[in-house]
A and B are shown apart, each in its own frame.
Chain A
Amino acid sequence: MTLSTLTLRVKRHKTTYFVQCSATDTVLALKRRVAKLVGRDPRDVRLLVPKDKMTTTVDYAAVHAKDKLAELEDKAVLDQLGVPDDAVVFAVFWVPGEINAAEGKWEPVDLPEPAPLVEADEELSEAEHADAGAPRADKGKARA
């Protein structure tokens, strides 16, 4: 069997959902999986990707710039869209209006950037520090 499974990272705010689907799935099928994970209706979920090229890394500047993201259409098939394995997809939810539930709007894409790792030089001294008695790696596991 040569089913190709894609593992996609669907990101929204500070959460990344690892979602597995088939390359022959439609965008709607992917939305359904995401919706199930978050307990929402698939129609209230919108998936977006960078306009130029789908990548496995996140360009935080592009994500927040206007017009750099394109919405994925429900009927499109992932394989035909050229979605690579380990691609990053952005999700936003529909926010119903406070007064009139029918009049809502889609959330803006908001992706906070995670804390960067320290520079290589500082990292070495950090590691020495960690070795000198931080309880972290022990947890009662004896290692030969």
Chain B
Amino acid sequence: MAETATAASASNAAPGATPLDLTDHVRLVSADGFEFVIDRKCAMASGTIKAMLSSPARFAESQHNVVEFKDIKAVILEKVCQYLYYKVRFTNSSTEIPEFPLGPPHQLLELLMAADFLDC
């Protein structure tokens, strides 16, 4: 796991004038304007994000590595990001997989809807 992380940072191009001019990270923006910068590999664990970023020129997102979610609030989007890391870490893992903390009950419905939309 640590190797993957160091490989990811080693392969970064020199940072450009605009922050986050990196191809191995993706910026997800919530409805209330909060941003979450995550590993591209983890972003791809969401079928929807993967489709948005992979389609050549079909989505504007594929060009800037930024995806905006006008319907998902920051609290939920953060939980989703944490889940994507959890998913990548424990997929095909032989070690014991801990339970993912879903958070307080009042949040579950929106979290479920976001997960459905994001296909993850």
With both beta carbons as reference points, the residue of chain B lying nearest to A16 in the complex is identified as B36
- Per-residue B-contact encoding for A34-65, CB less than 8 Å = 1, 0 else: 00111110000000000000000000000000
Find out whether the CB atom of A117 lies under 8 angstroms from the CB atom of B110: yes
Complex interface: chain B residues within 8 A of A137 (CB): 113, 116-117
Question: How many residues belonging to A are interface residues under a CB distance threshold of 8 Å?
Answer: 34
Tell me the complex Cα distance, A120–B110, Å: 11
Tell me the complex Cα distance, A15–B33, Å: 9
Nearest Cβ distance between residue B66 and chain A, in whole angstroms?
12
Tell me the complex Cα distance, A87–B119, Å: 26
Find out whether the CB atom of A14 lies under 8 angstroms from the CB atom of B34: yes
Question: How many residues belonging to B are interface residues under a CB distance threshold of 8 Å?
Answer: 48
Given A16-B34, A136-B117, residue A39 in contact with residue B106 (CB < 8 A): no
Complex interface: chain B residues within 8 A of A16 (CB): 34-37, 78, 81
With both beta carbons as reference points, the residue of chain A lying nearest to B106 in the complex is identified as A120
Nearest Cβ distance between residue B83 and chain A, in whole angstroms?
11
Pick from A4, A115, A123: contact of B32, CB below 8 A.
Answer: A115
Tell me if B68 counts as interface (CB < 8 A to partner A). Answer: no
Nearest Cβ distance between residue B118 and chain A, in whole angstroms?
10
Find out whether the CB atom of A119 lies under 8 angstroms from the CB atom of B113: no
Given A37-B22, A39-B18, A123-B110, residue A5 in contact with residue B37 (CB < 8 A): no
Tell me if A142 counts as interface (CB < 8 A to partner B). Answer: no
* Complex interface: stretch among A18-26, A67-75, A95-103: A18-26
Find out whether the CB atom of B106 lies under 8 angstroms from the CB atom of A33: no
Nearest Cβ distance between residue A40 and chain B, in whole angstroms?
8
Find out whether the CB atom of B105 lies under 8 angstroms from the CB atom of A18: no
Given A15-B34, A16-B78, residue A119 in contact with residue B106 (CB < 8 A): yes
Interface residues of A (CB under 8 A from B): 3-5, 7, 9, 14-18, 20-22, 33, 36-40, 86, 114-117, 119-120, 123-124, 127, 130, 136-137, 139, 141
Name the 8 nearest CB pairs between A and B, nearest first: A39-B15, A114-B74, A5-B1, A20-B5, A22-B2, A15-B35, A3-B2, A115-B32
Not counting A18-B38, A22-B2, A119-B106, a sample of 7 additional A-B residue pairs whose C-beta atoms are within 8 angstroms of each other reads A14-B34, A15-B36, A15-B37, A20-B85, A117-B73, A127-B109, A136-B117
